[in-house]
Amino acid sequence: MAEQVYWDDVDVGDEIPTLRKNCSTQQLVVWAGASGDFYQIHYDEGFAKNTGLDGIIVHGALKNAFLGQLLHDWVAPAGRVRKFGCSYRGMDYPNQDITCRGVVTKKYIDGSNHLVDLEIWTENPSGQKTSPGSGTVTLPARG
């Protein structure tokens, strides 16, 4: 895990470290069990094609959880993810890169909390934002 990021050292416009994912169909099955979403379009190719899809697609909620990890890994160990979410805009497929990215849009103090807002999203191999969203985290402040 990377070194602690401090609120003082963050600027609006900063891009946070990228998290790259590439799901096997096995990972989608693990996610199905973990989330309770057993819809067959996420692991049964024949079923997915019968519904008109090109093939198995990655769960939108899994991509959202990837964005949760993107933020957690950035703020850990002392920071916390306060809020995060995304729209399920485009489909992603197993065995293709899903790149999770984030850019700082605001930094502010609320009481004793040092907060940062970010624009976050997942990108497919063509660079299209398939899950655009936003997040809020707390970070420790220096001294």
Q: Which residues contact 41 (CB under 8 A, 6 or more apart)?
A: 47, 48, 51, 53, 56, 57
Identify which range of 8-16, 32-40, 105-113, 122-130 contacts another protein by CB under 8 A: 32-40
* CA neighbor of 67 nearest in space, from 30, 43, 100: 100
Q: How far is the CB of 29 from another protein (least distance, A)?
A: 9
Measured over the CA atoms of residue 50, residue 66, residue 84 and residue 34, the dihedral's sign is: positive
Q: Which is nearer to another protein, 76 or 104 (CB)?
A: 76
The reply on whether position 129 binds another protein by CB under 8 A is no
Q: Identify the residue whose tokens are 């096995």.
A: 26
What residue ranges bind another protein (CB under 8 A)?
1, 21, 27, 30-31, 33-36, 60-62, 64-66, 68-69, 71-73, 76-77, 80-88, 131, 133
